[in-house]
Structure 1
Amino acid sequence: MNINIRELSEDLFLTTAKMITELMNYHRKLNNAPKKYWQTDEESKETLEYWKEEGTVYNVFLDDEAVGFFYVRFGGQNVAWLEDIFISEQYRGKGIGRFAMEKLDELMIEKEVVAMFVDVIPRNTSAIKLYKECGFDHLNLIQLRKNYDKKLDKDEEIDLLGFNFKKY
Structure 2
Amino acid sequence: MENVKLRKMSEKDFDIYFQNKIERYTDVLSRNIHELGEETSLKAIKQLNNLLPKGLFTPNHHLFNIYTGEQIAGYAWIKIEVKKKSAFLYEIFIFEELRGRGLGTKIMEHIEGIIRQKGVCYFKLHVFGSNTGARKLYEELGFEVAGINMLKTLEEKVLS
Relative to the length of structure 2, the TM-score reads 0.72
Task: Say which SS state the counterpart of residue 145 (structure 2) adopts.
Answer: coil
Encode CA deviations 1:49-85: one digit per residue, 9 max, x unaligned.
5353152212211112222112111234211111122
User: 5+ residue gaps in structure 2?
Assistant: none
Give the alignment of 1:38-49 within 5 angstroms.
38=41, 46=49, 49=52
Structure 1 equivalent of residue 138 of structure 2: 131
Letter of the 1:24 partner, please give it: Y
Letter of the 1:31 partner, please give it: N
Give the alignment of 1:1-168 within 5 angstroms.
1-28=2-29, 30-31=31-32, 37-38=40-41, 46=49, 49-50=52-53, 52=56, 53-54=58-59, 55-75=61-81, 76-136=83-143, 138-144=144-150, 150=155
Give the superposition deviation at 1:11.
Answer: 3.3
Give the superposed CA RMSD.
Answer: 3.2
Shift of the 143–25 alpha-carbon distance from structure 1 to 2, 3 Å rule, reads same
Give the superposition deviation at 1:9.
Answer: 1.6
* Alignment size in residue pairs: 148
1:20/1:44 contact within 8 Å kept = no
Task: Say which SS state the counterpart of residue 114 (structure 2) adopts.
Answer: helix
Give the superposition deviation at 1:28.
Answer: 3.6
Relative to the length of structure 1, the TM-score reads 0.70
Give the superposition deviation at 1:30.
Answer: 3.5
Sequence identity percentage: 25
Shift of the 4–22 alpha-carbon distance from structure 1 to 2, 3 Å rule, reads farther
1:17/1:44 contact within 8 Å kept = no
